[in-house]
Amino acid sequence: MAAKLETQVHLLDGPLLPLLPPKPLGRALPPLPARPRHARDEIHPGWHRDTLVLPAAFPRSFPNSTRRNGQDSQDPTVPRDGQARADVQKATEFVVKSQVEGFARPLKLTANAEEIDGQEQLVVVGNRYRPKKPRDANAPTGLTLVLSHANGFYKEVWEPLLSVVLAQIEQRGLSLPIDEIWALDCIIQGDSAVLNDGVLGSVFNWADHGRDLVNTIAYYLDSPDLENSVVQPGQAASALPSRSTLAAPELARLDNDGPTLSERRAASKRLVVGIGHSLGGGATAYAATACPSLFSSVIFLDPVIVPANPNPPRTMVTMTTAALKRRATWKTRQEAKESLGQKAMFRAWAPEVLDGYIDHGLHETDDGQVTLKTKPYYEALTFMDPLASASRRACVRLETLPKSLPAHFIFADEGRSVLSEEWIDHILNRTIPQATFARVKDAGHLIVHEKPVETAELIVAFLEKANPRSAARSAKL
């Protein structure tokens, strides 16, 4: 039944829904989940982490992306009518049906104004990393990295990799320095999912994830009251930051007026490097093609972007069902670590990444247990991209990426990527032939988790070529 429903979806095309100013929050946000006491706050000597709660892109592009505050959750994994456990087959069918019906009716600002007005304002939780000591004001502009994680994870998953990137950039001195790093939780995952839980709907599309990236980069990295918007773990955000006035007005229209050239630098005073893994790679593709002028370069880490061939993948239902079956709650973090450590996927991870999953991927419940921040339902909803329609749309859009914008792919080892070798060949030779690529030896799709050091080294190698420090010195002279 679910597989039959999936075939009813159509591949969307055309520009993304423009951005409007955020609407006032119609609810009090819950506190950010507390971190375990032993969780480290410093990813590199001399650097510190701030956590901020930002408005997500408004409006959302599809109906039922949000629900009214106080309206009952539609989570199909919750047992109902006296059941001991939910029926996984029925849960899968619910997720597929919701997505297919939602994707069939993309919203328009004018035609669907009343429906848009009824949407709730969502939030994005981000970590900002920067040096404790401000850089010399006369120093050349450095890089701002903006990172988007894979499905089912969280912004802190990048920290083991980032510690290596920062160390190598400093030691080698061949790339422009890094001024600032932003790691963002998808609105339906990590801390964002915890804060949005009461208003998330039954539809999620990867294009909106890309719009969230554009919205954050264009309007909130340089918000005038950002410093007053830092939120401590265990505390609730009292107010959201206001929009920056530095962004060009036309950015809000995204690609509705045609692609903007990357030479028209829109993120003033910043050289933004977009980095996305898996789901985050698809989101970065949407963001970079909607507003290439925001970026100085983009890096795709084993991204889920599928060529628009006549035989789309049919694995989304299988992954959706697997996510719905996932265990979500344990008595303690130690029990969770022991349980997860028995599974092949988690055994393949670097130890520090698994430790981070226990520290940052879980939060405490009211009854003293620990549960996943990204509920199985939300992970399943993200996987359920019917016939990879949003993924294929992202790939088609990459054909419009300006050749002047450096783009780099870092894939898993040969034969182990989420993409077939045929699809990789299509992307590199037909979709975006100007892009460069590398591979992480002996790594599967979760390269950030399995090989954070090796993946970091490949990121640094690209940054040294795309943003050499020698060019900055020459320009200054």
Could you count the other beta carbons within 10 Å of the beta carbon of residue 176?
23
All residues at 6 or more sequence positions from 157 whose CB lies less than 8 Å from its CB, including other chains: 149, 150, 353, 356, 357, 360, 361, 448, 449
DSSP type of residue 26: S
Query: Which helix (DSSP H) or strand (DSSP E) does residue 76 occupy?
Result: none
Q: What is the pLDDT of residue 316?
A: 84
Can you say whether residue 152 is alpha, beta or left, with left for phi > 0 and alpha for psi between -120 and 50 degrees? left
Of 433, 434, 439, residue with least CA distance to 419: 439
Calpha distance 278→443 (Å, rounded): 14
pTM of the model: 0.95
What are the backbone angles phi and psi of residue 409, rounded to the nearest 5°? -110, 135
Nearest to 243 by CA among 20, 463, 5: 20
Q: Which amino acid is at 175?
A: S
Domain extent listing, the chain: 2-476
CA gap 262, 274 in Å, rounded: 13
State the amino acid at position 15 in one-letter form: P
Predicted local distance difference test score (pLDDT) of residue 72: 86
Name 72's bridge partners. Answer: none
Whether the bond between 59 and the residue before it is cis, its omega within 30 degrees of 0, is yes
Please give the structure tokens belonging to residue 62.
């599809």
Terminal alpha carbon distance of the chain: 67
Neighbours of 318 (CB within 10 A): 14
Whether the Cβ atoms of residue 360 and residue 149 lie closer than 8 Å to each other: no
362-364 and 178-184: which strand pairing?
Answer: unpaired
How many alpha carbons fall within 13 Å on the CB side of residue 308? 15
CB 46 within 8 A of CB 131: yes
Give every strand in the sheet of 362-364, ordered side by side: 329-330, 370-372, 362-364
CA distance 88 to 409: 36
pLDDT in tens, the chain (477 residues): 666 777 777 778 899 999 999 999 989 999 999 988 887 778 999 999 999 999 999 999 999 999 998 888 889 998 877 677 889 999 999 999 999 999 999 999 999 999 999 999 999 999 999 999 888 878 889 999 999 999 999 999 999 999 999 999 999 999 999 999 999 999 999 999 999 999 999 999 999 999 999 999 999 999 999 988 899 999 999 889 999 988 888 899 999 987 655 445 544 589 999 999 999 999 999 999 999 999 999 999 999 999 987 566 667 889 999 999 999 999 999 999 999 999 999 999 999 999 999 999 999 999 999 999 999 999 999 999 987 899 999 999 999 999 999 999 999 999 999 999 999 999 999 999 999 999 999 999 999 999 999 999 999 999 999 999 876 554 444
Task: Please provide the DSSP assignment of 171-221 as one string.
Answer: HH--BPPEEEEEEE--TTSHHHHHHHTTTB-S---HHHHHHHHHHHHHHTT
| Residue 35 near residue 373 (C-beta atoms within 8 A) | no
At the topology level, CATH places domain 2-476 in Rossmann fold (3.40.50)
Long-range CB contacts (< 8 A, 24+ apart) of 354-357? 356/156, 356/157, 356/159, 356/160, 357/153, 357/157
Contact (Cβ atoms closer than 8 angstroms) between residue 171 and residue 354: no
CA distances from 218 to 21, 55, 110, 419 (A): 12, 12, 23, 31
Length reported for the chain: 477
Nearest to 144 by CA among 254, 244, 294, 302: 294
Could you give the 3-state DSSP secondary structure of residue 115? helix
CA distance 411 to 365: 37
Choose among 43, 360, 370: nearest CA to 191. Answer: 360
Query: Which tokens is 294 given?
Result: 């925001």
> E strand or H helix at 454, and its extent?
helix 452-466
